Structure 1
Amino acid sequence: MNLRPKDHEEPEMNLTSLIDVVLLLLIFFMVSTTFVDESRIKLQLPQASNEPAADQKKDPIEVAVTATGEYRVNGQVLINTSPATLSAAVSKLAGERRDLPVTIRADARSTHQSVVTAMDVLGRLGFKAISIATVNDQSNSAAAQ
């Protein structure tokens, strides 16, 4: 009778297949990833100053977006809400000058699409100084306090 315990071999972990899978995944992600730089909006944040900037001394163009999605260029209501009409109105007002500052004023209830359309039209026309104006609603802030 053999009463000696059997020698247990330590289990061995084979990592070869795991390394192969990791390398295949790495190659897959490297090949399937696109490195295209999408067009991005370049923002220039304002700096606080006591004197108005040189851009503010020029006659600005103001594009207002109402709650119903209508556009107004320097206070004049456009005949419809199409981007072509907005483009024609801004082009007529600015002429060949694309260095004029443009301010977009949107109603709080206007759709996001209307504001983005106005920004897109102005960008396609070649304007570089586009600002978005905000207004503090005094009635809401006074009611909240």
Structure 2
Amino acid sequence: MRIRDDRAHEEPEINLVPLIDVILVLIIFFVITTTFDSRSMLQLQLPSATGEPVAAQTKALSLLVNADGRYFVDEREVLRTDIDALKQTLSQVAGEDRERPVLLRADARTPHQAVVTALDALGQLGFRKVSIATAPEARP
């Protein structure tokens, strides 16, 4: 009596279900652990001042100046640090609305010239409602 060995004719198969499960778990892990906060991109140390914040009626145009003197208008980075590039980016973001309030947020370690350049560009474009953001003064 001859006993057949059917195992020799079986083809090996690759089970993809565990691989797909692992990939889905990794995707979920990375999505949950990723932060989508735009403020986490720039670490600003605002100068301190006393006073109460004023509520704005419309969304202000945000102009950030980091410690290196680089400019950011809303979510767009100005590629060069000269006044013409800053004016061009401000015009593109704000459009024709010169009555829109502008919030200037400059790092406390920013060179003074970078802040003066930002204020000069805003003045040349006709923005009159400019506010400078500060951090509350530390109380002992």
What are structure 1's unaligned runs of at least 5 residues? Answer: 1-46
User: RCO (CA 8 Å, sep 6+): is it higher in 1 or 2?
Assistant: 2
Summarize deviations over 1:52-97 as a string: whole Å, max 9, x none: 3xxx222210111110000011132221111111101110111111
Deviation, 1:48, is 6.0
Partner residue, 1:67: 67
Give the letter aligned to residue 115 of structure 1.
Answer: V
- The CA deviation at 1:105 is 0.5
Could you list the structure 1 runs, at least 4 aligned residues long, displaced by more than 3 angstroms after superposition. none
Contiguous gaps of at least 5 residues in structure 2: 1-50
The answer on whether the counterparts of 1:64 and 1:75 sit within 8 Å (CA) in structure 2 is: no
Q: CA RMSD in A?
A: 2.3
Count the aligned residue pairs: 90
Q: For residue 127 of structure 1, what is the aligned residue in structure 2?
A: 127
Distance 1:125 1:112 in 2: 20
Q: State the secondary structure of the residue aligned to 1:124.
A: helix
TM-score by length of 2: 0.58
Q: Which deviates further from its counterpart, 125-134 or 76-85? A: 76-85
Match of 2:27 in 1: none
User: Matches of 2:132 and 2:95 in 1, distance apart?
Assistant: 22
Offset from partner CA, 1:87-126 (integer Å, 9 cap, x none): 0111011111100000110001001110010000000000
TM-score, structure 1 length as denominator? 0.56
> What is aligned with 1:82?
82
Bigger Cα Rg:
1
In the alignment, what sits opposite 1:36? none
Which residue in 2 is equivalent to 1:110? 110
Q: Find the aligned partners of 1:126 and 1:134 in 2 and give their Cα distance.
A: 23
Residue aligned with 2:135, SS: coil
For 1:89 and 1:58, the matched residues in 2 are separated by: 20
Partner-residue secondary structure (3-state), 1:86: helix
In structure 2, C-alpha distance between the alignment counterparts of 1:111 and 1:131, rounded to whole Å:
18
